[in-house]
With several copies, the nearest count.
Chain A
């Protein structure tokens, strides 16, 4: 299958929601270790809202759908990660404006805009132990795969693999932003909660496309 239709995008968002619900307590724990422990709650809130919006939306413009989903998330979960994830969807969606179906290159463009949005909103760089350390390599890997005309599932598989590596690398970094930064050197060696949530997003997107292929 070379393109994803609206149902696939809606299923993708649903898959992210399910993952967040499953991982709620895990994310709370990760965030509580060096933050305020809210990440599990806010990610669930954000993606429940996105899912409810997407499932009931009449839009056929998938870019607009993703953008609106992002705006819904911004209202539902205005925490750091809620806002960053919302910004990612808004910018990613904007990059796909007008599209009623989505191919591998579109997914790569979505991820690139997502990462760029986070970078700008968070005033951060790669290497600061944030979600960007997952989203940026994921976008780069997705672009490479798309350049080879790979289909959506393959693009997302490449993105997920790079995300996973980025997530591992981020572990070794020292946090520079948010509550984690107050822990300075102590943050080194620990998984970054936001990076973990980012990894879950990409893995859930891949999972949704894969399970569709199987069915």
Chain B
């Protein structure tokens, strides 16, 4: 295990300490617990608070989207572990300004149970909480069973649109409506080339043969659709993209934003090699590309691999996507 770490037991804590001292003007923590990250500075009266949460090991997910025009708080778990309901509740209290709080998180058992518990605690303190669970990995469950799908990199679009809406001082119902709409319009699939290593476990989480890839694999090593010999970038995209586009479906005349995401160890160069084919296929179908996000938006430690997310836009989503945003991990100047 070759990693820049101190005691593996302190990995998450050391990381959080690093994050908090690197970005003191942007992030702080509450309840004396670094796992409870919130935006620094005063709350904006009347603004819906948006919280997320999830395991560590996925930076910039989840806490990386706490920022201006984005989220207000994040409960941080251990590597690939849900944070506790308690921590979520503390974040909830800290970010509520009276307008209620929206939870946006990925569809994982532990997270759901803990956010449910936190929402129960919040309701006992008269904080109104709504929840949007993102699950857009088409490899994780067939059409018709959307509710079983994992949430992966596509949650970025849900954050961005909900964050922009909340910034308009929209009501909790409105922010939730937009988040639901964003979640309904994004689809993702991933492919893994090599495993990651959880510091506390110290050995690879799964194994792939010397020349193997797994299409559809999840960001915790969940099984995909097909394991087989590594193919060319073109063939990989030709296998991955159609199920993404055909699911909603996204078709001729639609306009999309594309997120080409690296899982950790894959160089940006290779993501562009993949994107080249994505672009050609999307354009061939008569779909217009509004913009492209390429880089690491949701990772799995040092896993080599990539995911493709396609986000179908309408005027409302496009406007929300285009506003400026700023977190320590993601900055965007207004588009257009």
Contact = CB atoms under 8 A, between A and B. Distances in A.
A200 B204 CA distance: 27
A47 to B, nearest CB: 16
Contacts of B83: 78
A42 B198 CA distance: 14
Contact of B201 (A28, A79, A179): A28
B185 interface: no
Contacts of B223: 34, 182-183, 186
A87 to B, nearest CB: 8
A158 to B, nearest CB: 29
Interface residues of A, number: 28
Nearest to B148: A181
A84 B113 contact: yes
A151 B110 CA distance: 36
Interface in A161-179: 177-179
Given A75-B84, A75-B86, A182 B113 contact: no
B124 to A, nearest CB: 15
B109 A178 contact: yes
With a 10 A CB-CB cut-off, give which of A77, A82, A179, A181 has the most chain B CB atoms.
A179
B141 to A, nearest CB: 8
A181 to B, nearest CB: 7
Nearest to A84: B113
B222 interface: yes
A212 interface: no
B222 A74 contact: no
B86 A179 contact: no
Interface of A: 28, 32, 34, 36-38, 41-42, 74-80, 82-84, 87, 121-122, 177-179, 181-183, 186
Given A78-B110, A87-B117, A177-B109, 8 more contacts: A32-B205, A41-B201, A75-B86, A79-B82, A83-B110, A179-B109, A182-B150, A183-B223
Q: Please name the 4 residue pairs, one residue from A and one from B, whose CB atoms are nearest each other, closest first.
A: A78-B84, A80-B109, A80-B110, A178-B109
26 contacts: A36-B80, A36-B205, A36-B220, A37-B205, A38-B80, A42-B81, A74-B85, A74-B86, A75-B86, A78-B83, A78-B84, A78-B114, A79-B82, A80-B82, A80-B108, A80-B109, A83-B117, A121-B113, A122-B109, A122-B113, A179-B222, A182-B140, A182-B218, A182-B223, A183-B223, A186-B223
